[in-house]
Amino acid sequence: MSVLDWIVFGEERIRITMELDQLQDHIRRIYGSKDNTRGKDGTFIWLVAEVGELGEAVRLGRKGGLEEEIGDCLAWLATLANVVGVRLEDAIQKYVDVCESCGQCPCACEGKP
């Protein structure tokens, strides 16, 4: 499943499409050793801290800040998935088709925010 564009910084900026599995493997290659040493509790705390920063960016409404904080949250979510042994591709499966409650796309559930 291809869900995002990923910008790689090297000598030049390259935009590529990365699959969720590739993203998770990429995060594991870069940070896996440190992540395993930190463990699940410490990694969860980092994820929550990043979600807090995202909340602040949402409140302030700065687009650049939003993009950066959403990227940070996604990276820390991938990190936590690595540490606890969950494959993101498997975890997202219930959201890849129609709404699991009403069976429609877009969702037509009554009272759902």
Binding site for Zn ion (CB under 5 A): 99, 101-102, 107, 109
Closer Cβ to Zn ion, 9 or 95, answer by number: 95
By Cβ distance, which residue is nearest to Zn ion?
99
Closer Cβ to Zn ion, 8 or 109, answer by number: 109
Q: In whole angstroms, how close is the CB of 109 to Zn ion at the nearest point?
A: 3
Closer Cβ to Zn ion, 48 or 102, answer by number: 102
Q: Do 69 and 53 contact (CB within 8 A), yes or no?
A: yes
Q: Cβ contacts of residue 44 below 8 Å, gap of 6+?
A: 80
Three-state secondary structure of 46-90: HHHHHHHHHHHHHHHCCHHHHHHHHHHHHHHHHHHHHHHCCCHHH
User: In 3-state terms, what secondary structure has residue 15?
Assistant: strand
Closer Cβ to Zn ion, 93 or 101, answer by number: 101
Q: In whole angstroms, how close is the CB of 37 to Zn ion at the nearest point?
A: 42
Q: In whole angstroms, how close is the CB of 74 to Zn ion at the nearest point?
A: 24
CA dihedral sign, ordered 60, 3, 19, 21: positive
Q: In whole angstroms, how close is the CB of 92 to Zn ion at the nearest point?
A: 17
